[in-house]
Structure 1
Amino acid sequence: MAPTHTILTQPAPDTSIKPWTYTDEQYAQIEALRSYAHSLLLPEDDPYHKWEHRWLTKPDTIPRYMRAAKWKLEDGKKRIKGTLEWRREYKPDLIPPDEVRPEAETGKIVINGFDKDGRPIIHMRPDRENTQQSPRQLRHLVWCLERTKDLMPPGVESCVILIDYSRTTLRTNPSISIATKVLHILQNHYVETLGRGVVVNLPMLLNFFYKGISPFLDPVTRDKIRFNPNLLDLIPKEQLYKEFGGEFDYEFDFESYWEQICSTCKIASDGTRVEDPSPEHAPGHETPVTLVGDHDSTPLSKEAEAISSAPLAEQTAPVA
């Protein structure tokens, strides 16, 4: 099969997505945090109100913060308040693609494919670093995290980050300083978004890097990182790059990749969303994606039922 420039934007057809389920007590805590978070909403006349409201009303947002807080309501309140303040300043869901486009040109971060649990995969290649350390590098990573949220099927709340260190040198490896900033954003403002971290082809020379950032990893994040696992155990062979032993012969071409990721996620040039006014694309005209439990007869959680019964436009609302 000839190499392709087409990225994979949906999980393999036989993927079984298993949504989170909660006890009645946990639902009560989720609702309590939801009520608190909505009390913090910006007024409707604020230009950012629409985007803040979208993020808060995503089915996964509030449950993720309660899980991250280990079901301690006061900690959940502190965490979500901190993220609301950060999002108001950073506006991660409104980053214009042209702002971060230079960071994407070499393919050092590419969103492509899904694992066996239906989680989108962020491929990182440190050897393809093409810019100097700057706030724009972090903005690009955040932009990519937002796009993985766009691509998550209903019931999926996390992504996979796969870091390939082949051909990476000390010069191209990110500094511990930039890595700790990335970890701060991921652990504080994208809680429960990292489903699995996979590191492959790590040379002995760079072991110090992971020792250096280890103190900044919370135990939950640390437990999600695997070094040199059998990738075929995690990713369907038809979605795993050929270089890793899979059947997906993907060849990066920047213009093609950039057009596909922006188009699929409906990102407008100013960072907002492209609206399709045609009747056949209006909410309610699409076929919802089906969620599956461990078995076809497994009942879905209340959160999952809300997702699967919503119009597709709401299921895939392009916010974090």
Structure 2
Amino acid sequence: MTNSKCVLITEPALGTIIKPIHVYDDEHQAKLKALQEYTSSLLLPSTDSYHPWEKRWLSKPDTHPRYLRAAKWKLEDAKKRIFGTLEWRREFKPELIPPDEVKIEAESGKIILNGFDVDGRPIIYMRPGRENTPTSPRQLRHLVWVLERAKDMMPPGQESLMIIVDYRSTTLRTNPSISVASKVLTILQHHYVETLGRAIVVNLPMLLSFFYKGIAPFLDPVTRDKMRFNPDLFELVPRSQLDADFGGDYVFEWDFEAYWAQVVSYCGVAPDGTRVKKESEAEAEPASKTATVESETATPELELSATSPDDSSEEEDPDKLADAAQAMTLVDPISA
């Protein structure tokens, strides 16, 4: 076993082949271009303080494909979906959540981002039994902050993540309410479409089986198909990457301050929630990762619309971003 002493795993296992790889034909490319033109027409004006962040999100190569795949390549449906997410992001501002705002939610280790599955997906471990705070909007903001960090850690070509929910030591008191769970599912299914690759549930006691019956109406069929209960984790996660709590070889000694500092540093998050590194540097960094992608199935580069950042765009300047972020007011995600 590897005794990590709380050392974060930031790369997939050596030799990992990133999957799935999405290939788009001419018809797909035409719809992607049409969706990009649509979102270009919705882009906030440059005078808006959130403009650089919206432009940054729309310029990411996976944004438009994910919404078209979720809509089964029905363009009008994809437009409605991405419009809804644009409205949500303008209100929630997921890129601008200061680490200190949600830090208390992470202290117990109830949600930990660490390691990668066999296909190179970042793993988020959720342990409801470690709940340490009363229900509040901050819990949702913490979850979104972790989702954004998981996307930061995705190796090139990977667009999805894996969630392992461990109900060991969970009680009726610590288990999230169906109301909270439905809000979490709404965020995942509506605003992080095609981002959940696998959802694994382990150690679910019979006492809590009602919980999944309660949230079943909120699960779309695609999400339901991605859920598995008590599978063989060794088929899904390399032993070297799997937490020893689940039978893996990676002994992760929980040290909150060490863990938190590593996540914030690796993902380049500034104290005000903006980015420490320039976007060009952040995009270049994953190139050194050890995961490999089969070149014959690589996703073709998409033609970017007018929303693509150029070398002189304002989001490239960390000082300007910091000034913009400081002028923003964070919105209550539950009451909004």
TM-score > 0.5, shorter chain as reference = yes
Q: How far apart, CA to CA, are the structure 2 residues paired with 1:128 and 1:285?
A: 33
Q: How far apart, CA to CA, are the structure 1 residues paired with 2:234 and 2:302?
A: 28
Q: TM-score, with normalisation over the residues of structure 2? A: 0.85
Match of 1:191 in 2: 193
* Secondary structure in 1 matching 2:240: helix
* Secondary structure in 2 matching 1:77: helix
Match of 2:166 in 1: 164
Q: TM-score, with normalisation over the residues of structure 1? A: 0.89
* Secondary structure in 2 matching 1:103: helix
What displacement does 1:67 show?
0.4
**Unaligned ranges ≥5, structure 2:** 305-315, 317-336
Match of 2:300 in 1: 302
Q: How far apart, CA to CA, are the structure 1 residues paired with 2:303 and 2:51?
A: 26
1:132-151 paired onto structure 2 within 5 Å: 132-151=134-153
Query: Could you report, residue by residue, the CA deviation over 1:145-172 in whole angstroms, capped at 9, with x for unpaired residues?
Result: 0000111111000100100001111110
Contact 2:29 2:302 (C-alpha < 8 Å) held by counterparts:
no
Match of 1:59 in 2: 61
* Secondary structure in 2 matching 1:272: coil
Equivalent of 1:116, from 107, 110, 118?
A: 118
* Secondary structure in 2 matching 1:302: coil
Q: Which has the higher relative contact order, 1 or 2, with Cα contacts under 8 A spaced 6 or more apart?
A: 2
- Report whether the alignment pairs 1:50 with 2:41: no
Residue correspondences, number: 302
Structure 1 157/84 Cα, relative in aligned 2: closer, same or farther at 3 Å?
Answer: same
Equivalent of 2:157, from 150, 155, 168?
A: 155
Q: How far apart, CA to CA, are the structure 1 residues paired with 2:282 and 2:142?
A: 31
Query: Could you report, residue by residue, the CA deviation over 1:35-93 in whole angstroms, capped at 9, with x for unpaired residues?
Result: 10111000112111100001000000000000011111000000111100110011001
Q: Which moved more, 1:131-140 or 1:282-291?
A: 282-291
Q: How far apart, CA to CA, are the structure 1 residues paired with 2:252 and 2:285?
A: 33
Amino acid at match of 1:86: W
**Unaligned ranges ≥5, structure 1:** 307-316
What displacement does 1:288 show?
5.4
Q: Which moved more, 1:258-267 or 1:282-291?
A: 282-291
What displacement does 1:275 show?
2.8
Amino acid at match of 2:147: L
Match of 1:15 in 2: 16
What displacement does 1:289 show?
5.1
Structure 1 36/238 Cα, relative in aligned 2: closer, same or farther at 3 Å?
Answer: same
Structure 1 274/88 Cα, relative in aligned 2: closer, same or farther at 3 Å?
Answer: same
Amino acid at match of 1:135: P
Match of 1:125 in 2: 127
* Secondary structure in 1 matching 2:275: coil
What displacement does 1:182 show?
0.4
* Secondary structure in 2 matching 1:123: strand
Amino acid at match of 2:300: K
Amino acid at match of 2:75: L
Q: How far apart, CA to CA, are the structure 2 residues paired with 1:239 and 1:195?
A: 17
Q: How far apart, CA to CA, are the structure 2 residues paired with 1:103 and 1:148?
A: 17
Match of 1:101 in 2: 103
Equivalent of 1:228, from 208, 227, 230?
A: 230
Q: How far apart, CA to CA, are the structure 2 residues paired with 1:282 and 1:187?
A: 26
Structure 1 153/138 Cα, relative in aligned 2: closer, same or farther at 3 Å?
Answer: same
* Secondary structure in 2 matching 1:237: coil
Moved over 3 A (4+): 281-293, 303-306
Match of 1:270 in 2: 272
Amino acid at match of 2:255: D
Q: How far apart, CA to CA, are the structure 2 residues paired with 1:148 and 1:283?
A: 14
* Secondary structure in 2 matching 1:239: coil
Contact 2:12 2:291 (C-alpha < 8 Å) held by counterparts:
no
Match of 1:88 in 2: 90
- Taking only aligned residues, the RMSD between alpha carbons, in angstroms, comes to 2.2
Structure 1 287/87 Cα, relative in aligned 2: closer, same or farther at 3 Å?
Answer: closer
Structure 1 40/17 Cα, relative in aligned 2: closer, same or farther at 3 Å?
Answer: same
Q: How far apart, CA to CA, are the structure 2 residues paired with 1:269 and 1:13?
A: 33
What displacement does 1:276 show?
6.8
Q: How far apart, CA to CA, are the structure 1 residues paired with 2:171 and 2:188?
A: 24
